[in-house]
Chain A
Amino acid sequence: MTKPGFDTQSEQLTAGHLIRVVNYHSTPRVAEAELREELAGYARDYSPVTLADLDLLFETGTWHKEKPGLIPVFYEGYRNSATVAAPICDEVGLTGWFPIATSFVDCDPEYQEAFARAHWISLVEEDTQGGRIAMNWDEVAELSKRHVVYPHTAHHEGFDTVLSDEDIVREVVESKRQLEAVTGQEAPAFVWLHGSSYGQSPRHDAAVRAAGYRYQFANTMVHRVN
């Protein structure tokens, strides 16, 4: 298991085994122009990264496109990830990666603000003006046709609060099954709340592997686990 640390990071960088990401959360309509400018800048300087591109990078150890790869990641499953961020990604030619807290999507819109506040999902003013805050399942399915969607647990949990077998099944396994049922394709990756690394807990690592995920995303690295 590869544990995070200064030596690990330095070795990975020196070996040229790296990928750039940019992490986003709520992307409200009011800031759409600025987001477009930022993503257009990335699209100009970097190449999109599809799941197949990431697979190839792990298979060969070498990035295969002329410009370096960049993954814009839109966390949580906000409605505005589907209605603001994804269309901009389409427009500028980037592949978005969308880790989704599946129970946030499942939650009755009437209670989504409370769900968010109860589960470390940050909100901006526009999110609290009424109406649905999370994506709906139709938006998730549509998003999966052009971008990468995968579970960010069910309830936006960290491995340190997912304790019982039942908790693990709900947060690691069922979230994957639910996404796959909606999208009709593999949910290829997983990420815990706080981006905890693989290698912190053998029990949770085994659960992620057994669920069939290909990748676990973490704060300092991408782990290929299957």
Chain B
Amino acid sequence: MTVTGPASHAGEPTAAQLLEAGDITGLMRACHDRRLEREGIPMVLGLADERGSIPANSDAGQLAEGARFAEVFARYSAALVPFARRDDEGAVITAMQVLAYTHFAPGAAAITDPAGTDPKDPSL
């Protein structure tokens, strides 16, 4: 799967280039360098039902996508915030921001086609 990532600012490497270089810290810097009056901050939010449980997701593609998100979240967390407590919300946000910035901004391929992906592909 190709990750084209968000548009980069002039003279700056794209998210895909940073990812290919394994520069996760560079991705973190890039997503914190968004020009907030022009560019949104992408994020993936989990769902929590405080009244009870949410029924199991019955779509294989969505489950595969979620599993890949979880895998990437673990990888970025290990790279960026290995110091963090398990309940360190700020650290969770930092890792998730990098995931969202890199993997679903405009131009990034949707992660819904597991047949076309290589689970060992670091580009997700």
Contacts and interface: CB of A to CB of B under 8 A. Distances in A.
A63 B63 CA distance: 11
B40 A222 contact: no
Interface stretch (B17-25, B68-76, B116-124): B68-76
Interface in B45-60: 45-51, 54-59
A85 to B, nearest CB: 10
Contacts of B93: 219-220
A224 B58 contact: no
B42 interface: yes
A16 B92 contact: no
Given A17-B54, A61-B57, A225-B51, A5 B70 contact: no
B79 interface: no
Given A20-B42, A221-B48, A15 B56 contact: yes
A34 to B, nearest CB: 5
Given A25-B36, A221-B45, A15 B100 contact: no
Contacts, number: 180
A16 B58 CA distance: 9
Contact of A12 (B37, B39, B46, B56): B46
Contact of A10 (B45, B62, B74): B74
A201 to B, nearest CB: 14
B88 to A, nearest CB: 7
Contact of B89 (A44, A57, A197): A197
Contact of A224 (B43, B50, B65, B96): B50
B70 A13 contact: yes
A157 B88 CA distance: 22
Interface residues of B, number: 50
B47 A5 contact: no
Contacts of B46: 8-9, 11-13, 17-18, 220-222
B47 A17 contact: yes
Interface string A149-167: 0000000000000000000
Given A20-B42, A224-B50, A26 B70 contact: no
B49 A18 contact: no
Given A25-B36, A59-B55, A223-B50, A13 B86 contact: no
Given A18-B45, A38-B38, A224-B50, 15 more contacts: A4-B92, A6-B87, A15-B63, A17-B47, A20-B44, A20-B45, A24-B36, A24-B41, A25-B37, A45-B107, A46-B104, A63-B62, A198-B50, A219-B93, A221-B47
Interface of B: 7, 36-51, 54-59, 62-63, 65-67, 69-70, 73-74, 77, 84, 86-89, 91-93, 96, 100, 104-108, 110, 112
Interface of A: 1-28, 31, 34-35, 37-38, 40-42, 44-46, 57-63, 67-68, 70, 72, 122, 124, 197-199, 217-226
